[in-house]
Amino acid sequence: MYFKLAWRNIWRNKRRTMITVSSIMFAVVFALFVESIERGAHDLMIDNMTRFHTGYMQVQDYRYKNEPSLDNSFYYEDDIGDWIGKNGNLVAFSIPRIETFMLAAGEEHTRGAIVMGTDLAGENRLNNLEERLIDGRFFEPGEGTAVLGERLADRLGLAVGDTLVLLGQGRFGMTAAGKFKVAGLIRHPLREMNNQIVYISLPDAQWLLSAEDHITALLVTPDHVRHTETVAGMLRSGFDNEELRVQTWPEMMPELLEALAFDRASTRVMMIILYVVIGFGIFGTILTMTLERLREFGILLSVGMHRLRLALVVFIETFFISVLGVLIGFVLGFFVILYFHYNPIRLGGDMEAVVQEWGIEPIMPAALAPDIFLWQGMIIFILATVICLYPGIKIFTLNILDSARN
């Protein structure tokens, strides 16, 4: 009976009900949007760093983490990759890499460069590297060609068809020097990598660095990012070789995690301020609704209705309104987030340069995550429910004679 009476009451004044529902709905949509944009920016940063740099996990020599040197590379044969593929039903593929720092030179200029010898087919599966090509083509295994980052090529004064000279130290102090024809240029999404990266085929890199059949890391890609820790645990338990270690991306990029944690803390402060603003907005609406009904409350009490029963009916009314506002906010917020998920906000001007310094593409996508809806909806619902206790408190303290004069 109380629920039926409350449901009828909220539709006696449709305008008042819709205003209250709208205030809660817009609060939910705005909270969802802010949280989704923040989550999307973090996911994009992690995605860029893992796909274009470290991968989701790496198999390395146990000494490589503390001393990333070619001397701490390890012997790699196809049997290792085949074993990982056969014994890991959550593993999508693996990519052997050999990476080092060398001097890269054109005809007149010299710059430091990150030289990465890799398997092109695997790189394309991981990060769609060929889509970043802006000029020329990619290398073929063993043909002695290289693909450079666009900014590095500009600094060296090189173009497609020119000769790149690489000079550095190979494995166990061997001199590493070689000439490579520039086959193509890419625009790397990470600014630091775009300024330094040189891609060559794995056989060419192993020959250049006197590291035949050796690699510095084997990138293992799970079929889904949520399976990263599961796959890492499987690999750790399956390797008989005590000299090999499995490192996941959080272990390889602790600085990134610290930066994200700091950013989340600042976002939480902003969200608290947002909740305060939202709370006052909802309270203002509920306060107006309560003041409009004081005469009605006074008449009901004067004819003998018990204060507790009246407060219960009014609370159920505001409970219904809160539920309607949150549910409608979920529906509208889902479509808003869905739009910005597929049509991210593109940054420009000074802001574009700032975010590129952090290694992020200058876009702000919205993240589609169920827990965003769960937490934001729950917080707004609890906030609205607590505020909706005000009419009940007002009923218990209401003076019947004063309410009759309103």
Q: How much is the CA Rg of the chain, to the nearest whole Å?
A: 31
Q: Which residues of 201-237 are buried (b: 16+ CB within 10 A; e: fewer)?
A: bbebbbbbbbbeebbbbbbbbbeeeebbeebbebbee
Q: Write out the H or E segment, with its range, that includes residue 248.
A: strand 244-248
pLDDT at residue number 396: 76
pLDDT at residue number 44: 79
Give the list of residues 6+ apart from residue 122 with CB closer than 8 angstroms, or none. 93, 94, 95, 96, 219
Asked if residue 402 has pLDDT above 70, the reply is no
Tokens in use for 132? 């970043």
- When mean pLDDT is compared over 3-7, 298-302, 379-383, the highest value belongs to 379-383
DSSP secondary structure letters along 152-177: HHHHHT--TT-EEEEEEE-GGG-EEE
> Which band of pLDDT confidence, cut at 50, 70 and 90, is reported for residue 240?
low
* Of 125, 157, 190, 110, nearest in space to 361 by CA: 190
Beta bridge pairs of residue 215: 74
Asked if residue 89 has pLDDT above 90, the reply is no
> Which band of pLDDT confidence, cut at 50, 70 and 90, is reported for residue 403?
low
> Which of 82-86, 144-148, 334-338 shows the lowest mean pLDDT across its residues?
82-86
Pick the more confident residue, 402 or 112.
112
Tokens in use for 302? 């004067």
Residue type at 233 in one-letter notation:
G
Mean pLDDT of the chain: 82
pLDDT at residue number 406: 56
pLDDT at residue number 185: 94
CB 31 within 8 A of CB 379: yes
Q: What is the pTM of this model?
A: 0.67
pLDDT at residue number 393: 79
pLDDT at residue number 401: 64
Distance of CA 213 to the CA centre of its chain: 36
Long-range contacts of 152-155 (CB under 8 A, 24+ apart): 152/104, 152/111, 152/113, 152/194, 152/195, 152/196, 152/197, 152/198, 153/182, 153/185, 155/109, 155/111, 155/195
> Which of 50-54, 146-150, 182-186, 239-243 shows the lowest mean pLDDT across its residues?
239-243
Tens of pLDDT, residue by residue over 45-58, are 777 777 777 888 88
Return the number of other C-beta atoms located less than 10 Å from residue 244's C-beta: 17
> Which band of pLDDT confidence, cut at 50, 70 and 90, is reported for residue 19?
confident
Give the list of residues 6+ apart from residue 356 with CB closer than 8 angstroms, or none. 191, 362
pLDDT at residue number 158: 93
Pick the more confident residue, 206 or 375.
206
* Of 221, 198, 235, nearest in space to 118 by CA: 198
Residues of the chain above pLDDT 70, percent: 90
pLDDT at residue number 182: 93
Cα separation of 182 and 162, whole Å? Answer: 6
Instruction: Kindly tell me the burial class for residue 346, based on how many C-beta atoms sit within 10 Å of its own C-beta (0-12, 13-18, 19 or more).
Output: exposed
* Domain residue ranges in the chain: 2-49+256-405, 63-241
Beta bridge pairs of residue 74: 215
Tens of pLDDT, residue by residue over 281-335, are 777 777 777 777 777 777 777 777 777 777 777 777 777 887 888 888 889 989 9
* Of 83, 375, 132, 353, nearest in space to 240 by CA: 83
DSSP secondary structure letters along 107-162: SS-EEEEEEEEE-HHHHHHHH-GGGGEEEE----TTS-EEEEEHHHHHHHT--TT-
> Which of 80-89, 249-258, 274-283, 359-368 shows the lowest mean pLDDT across its residues?
80-89
Tens of pLDDT, residue by residue over 189-230, are 777 888 999 999 999 999 999 888 899 998 888 877 778 888
Asked if residue 395 has pLDDT above 80, the reply is no
> Which of 30-44, 138-152, 178-192, 356-370 shows the lowest mean pLDDT across its residues?
356-370
What's the whole-number mean pLDDT along residues 149-163? 92
> Which band of pLDDT confidence, cut at 50, 70 and 90, is reported for residue 167?
very high
Cα separation of 99 and 215, whole Å? Answer: 8
Pick the more confident residue, 373 or 114.
114
∠167-245-48 over CA atoms, to 5°? Answer: 65
